[in-house]
Structure 1
Amino acid sequence: MGIILGVLAIIVVLGLAFLMSNDKKNINYKGIGIMLLLQLLTTWFMFSTNIGQAIINGIAAGFNKLIEFGTEGVNFVVGGLMVEEGGSVFFFNVLLLIIFFATILSVLTYLRILPPIIKYFGGLISKITGLPRVESFNAVNSIFFGQSEALIAIRSQFHHLTANRLYIVSASAMGSVSASIVGAYLQMLPPEYVLVALPLNMFSALMLASIIAPVKVPKEEDKVDVKDVTNDKSIFEAMGNGALEGGKIALIVAAMLIAFIASLELVNWIISFSGLTLQELLGYVLYPIGILMGISPDEVLRAGSVMGTKIVTNEFVAMLEFQPMIAEMSEKTVGIVSVFLTSFANFSSIGIIAGTVKGIDSEKAVSVSGFGLKLLIGATLASILSATVVGLFL
């Protein structure tokens, strides 16, 4: 029964994207079918084979070792602060680690290790699926870098981007996460689900964006250049700039958490007369899709409330809310919700993407603002699709 519901959920998600499409005649059905197959194969390989499990465990162990190194740096700076026994400070224990991961990414970019790898995999995806190279490159790039950084990396191609192409690259940015933040996620959610969400979200975002905004691109307008991906002149400058960028991200996330959690409490106080919280109301709204995704009926309201919280606030707020529930829920529900949460698909991301595009090309920013809500709906459908695929194997 679970398999049938999961397949139905996939059909519903793809069907909704089709209804939203602005050019149904030019949808690349072959490419979409290939990406859906790749999603299924990737999930099966990572969850159902010894090699896949070994890869997940190896990557998780690598991240854990990096977290240990990062913790040493954090402890040196804030280790003298007193924390009650058994307590923790989220900003120190989780967010400050972003600085170290951002530094590593900056160095790998300066050493020209990451850019060729991203360009190669993007080119491979383009060749297999028939999607344009720029869009494919951006999708892979979005796995490693945040929304702003991923879009800035293709700024030289912005003059070629039509409204549909701009929608696809924006959807990939919103539907992904940054590798610099993955370390923080791994401390709040089961590692295997966070790691499998990275490739699945990449394919989901490309699939649904390609249905909603199909494109056909002339070869002369489809080139990827990774020569000027960094302005750093030395490895030490790369380390310094990476650390500063990571510090800004940590502070931004902290500020947003304060604002969103406080606002959530305010809204719950205002609607307290109803006897329900905003999270509970969202749980009822997402109840039907939660059932289709494979969440059991006795857990779907709580799971739906977490997923809804992520959409209206951000993934960190939802993850903090979900953490205490993990031990009480089934493995399937934990997997589905964890994958759903591992993306930037929320209302605040519309502003981030629009602001980034405005800094690159002010005329293109008008287009992004125009399809902002459609962008969020598409990215949310992508999260649902990835989570549903994972649920089929749990």
Structure 2
Amino acid sequence: MNEVLLRSLIPGVIAILVRRGADFAAAEDAVQDALVEALRTWPADGSANSPRSGDASGSSGSPGGGRPVRDPKGWLVTVAWRRFLDAARADAARRRREDLLDEEPAPGAAPAVDDTLQLYFLCAHPSLTPSSAVALTLRAVGGLTTRQIARAYLVPEATMAQRISRAKRTVSGVRFDRPGDVATVLRVLYLVFNEGYSGDVDLAAEAIRLTRQLAAAIDHPEVAGLLALMLLHHARRAARTAPDGSLVPLAEQDRGRWDTASIAEGIGILRAALARDRLGEFQAQAAVAALHADAPTAGETDWVQIVEWYDELVRLNDSPVVRLNRAVAVGEADGPRAGLAALAAVDAASSASSSNRGHRIPRYTAVAAYLHERDGDLATAARLYAEAARQAPNLAERDHLTRQAARLNARR
């Protein structure tokens, strides 16, 4: 069975059922039933050309009764719609929809229109929390099972099932009658990408696959910018960790292990997006990543141009995180004291907000430690590395920062 084919068809089939009148939760359940039927009846080689004989089982069975399945999407739509009809007719609360339910479309080819884009927007609905939006996107658009998503997030399957169920209830009844917010969809996909890899699901690779799918459906320079950013970051993945699992900073990475094909593709996509002269945050971030990828060695990195791109980013999104990254670039381009001055401005800006008061933004302390070390203040740097280790969000980062503190303490 060709699992890749099935997963690629899921969003379009769900969207067709929703457009016909099914609410999102019911449509998603019906499509899952159809997938089970496909796994049971389609050939093991995944050709989807000739289901096993005897696959018709009453009104809810597979269409065709052994005839060749020349349109897998149409096959899934027909089976899923019949599953939805059976479930709806059995539910007394839905009797008011009988007029709709009795008008079953005849089996045949699925419509050529691609509703996948609308499904992206539905899964990124503003009423959903970021974690729920990500889970629903992975389930409905990505085609992952609840168990796979739960393993990726290292939570019990029952917990993830409840999260997805709540998300489906939230978006049930939402109509596809207004343009979706592309920026929200991109933020959700970037959240998926930043989850990286855990369990048996490579979420970074999954995010790239989904963003490619979105880029094929919508002509938008920021979609291209996000895809380029993902490819450029992902190209460095193999070099980010040592054989013992410890983190390897960018400046120390073996650039021979970077994926040059992904870098070339990402830069090509970015150039085409920038040529449209509609700069957005993801394009600017991708430009920074491209400058890192272009440098043969860490010492040849064009930090002056990177600072210029961060200046563009500040104009687009004047957030503490962007200013923090800019401070690092300033420290490399103009020296550690200039970087510390830029960092002090970040601290002042973040402390001005009551919601942030008393809380350092992520990586602030680690950046301060690095810049103090560059400036020769090893005692302060060691103390800050140790403090940053206590704040680290994961074990690998904590171990790395602890080793940095120990290294400096040994030199004093």
Q: One fold, TM greater than 0.5? A: no
Which TM-score applies when normalising by structure 2? 0.23
Which TM-score applies when normalising by structure 1? 0.24
Higher helix proportion (structure 1 or 2): 1
- Greater radius of gyration (CA): 2
| Larger RCO: 1 or 2 (CA < 8 Å, sep 6+) | 1
